[in-house]
Amino acid sequence: MDDIQCVPQHTVNPQALIDLMNDQGIRKYLPLLKGDFTEQDCQAFLNAKQQLWDDHGYGPWAVLIQGQFAGWGGLQAEQGDADFALVLHPDFWGWGRKVFCKIRDQAFGEMNLTSMTALLPPHRSNARAIVRLGFVDDGELLVDGERFLRFRLGRSF
């Protein structure tokens, strides 16, 4: 997994993040993203993600694959859970499992978490993929007025 690096988000070019978040292939999976993702939105996003690190000691990373910005992902505090989030550029969608495994190993190893969640919008057609990773259905959750399906992965001892 040396091809995958997780680096602080502020170390990548903000325009790469703006372009990712404005990609139409990505936007359909992000119901909380309303309107164009502007430079101001990017700065607010980066500030909010840094606040997660400051408040909880963990948060999302910028993901580099073979040295190239591929997206962002990691764990985010969400209503009392460590929630796994991953947004990869469509050019890197085949890398999702490898990125997930890197973050899962950190969560259950270094961070010693007992579980993590993943939230998917109900219209997401490939929810089976999260089940193949070991997640189980754990109800629903409202986030900023949007309904999400919640899945949970417990640590294997």
> Tell me, what amino acid is at 139?
G
12-26, 107-121, 122-136: range with lowest mean pLDDT: 122-136
What pLDDT does residue 157 have? Answer: 54
Q: What backbone phi and psi angles, to 5 degrees, belong to 87? A: -125, 105
Helix, strand, coil tally for the chain in percent (to 5):
35, 35, 30
Helices (H) and strands (E) in the chain, counts: 5, 7
Reply yes or no on whether the pLDDT at 116 is more than 70: yes
What pLDDT does residue 85 have? Answer: 95
- Mean pLDDT over residues 124-152, rounded? 89
Question: What is the CATH number assigned to the segment(s) 4-113?
Answer: 3.40.630.30
CB 21 within 8 A of CB 28: no
The contacts of residue 45 (CB under 8 Å, 6+ apart) are: 17, 21, 37
- Mean pLDDT over residues 11-16, rounded? 96
What pLDDT does residue 156 have? Answer: 79
The contacts of residue 36 (CB under 8 Å, 6+ apart) are: 22
Residue predicted with more confidence, 74 or 125: 74
Reply yes or no on whether the pLDDT at 2 is more than 80: no
pLDDT (tens digit, 9 = 90+) per residue, 42-63? 999 999 999 999 999 999 999 9
| Bridging pattern class, strands 60-65 and 68-78 | antiparallel
Burial 131-148 (b: 16+ CB within 10 A, else e): eeeebeebeebeeeeeeb
What pLDDT does residue 14 have? Answer: 96
Q: What percent of the chain has pLDDT over 90?
A: 83
Burial 82-115 (b: 16+ CB within 10 A, else e): bbbbbbbbeebeebbeebbebbbebbbeeeebee
Closest to 100 measured CA to CA, from 141, 70, 55: 70
What pTM value is reported for the model?
Answer: 0.91
